Amino acid sequence: MSAALPIQTCRPSDAPAVFSVSRATIYRWAKAGYITIYKRTGISLIDVDEVKAYIKGTDN
């Protein structure tokens, strides 16, 4: 059984509009372990709150 998805998700391709960061940046952060990319039926999804928290934490 797979883990439940977070409540609010978006696709990495939506990242420029939602977070003002590139799709490539999202994948780079995931590869580094800063955020998680969830896969469901061939679709990649990211947790909006997790990405917002990471961005907020890096704005120092």
Q: What is the pLDDT of residue 32?
A: 97
More confident residue, 3 or 47: 47
Between β-strands 37-40 and 9-10, what pairing exists: parallel, antiparallel or unpaired?
unpaired
Please give the order of strands across the beta sheet that includes 43-47: 9-10, 43-47, 37-40
pTM of the full structure: 0.82
C-beta separation of 37 from 22 below 8 A: no
Q: Is the pLDDT assigned to residue 59 strictly greater than 90?
A: no
Kindly list the domain boundaries of the chain, sorted by start residue: 9-58
Q: What is the pLDDT of residues 6-53, one digit of tens each?
A: 689 999 999 999 999 999 999 999 999 999 999 989 999 999 999 999
Q: What is the pLDDT of residue 7?
A: 82
More confident residue, 49 or 59: 49
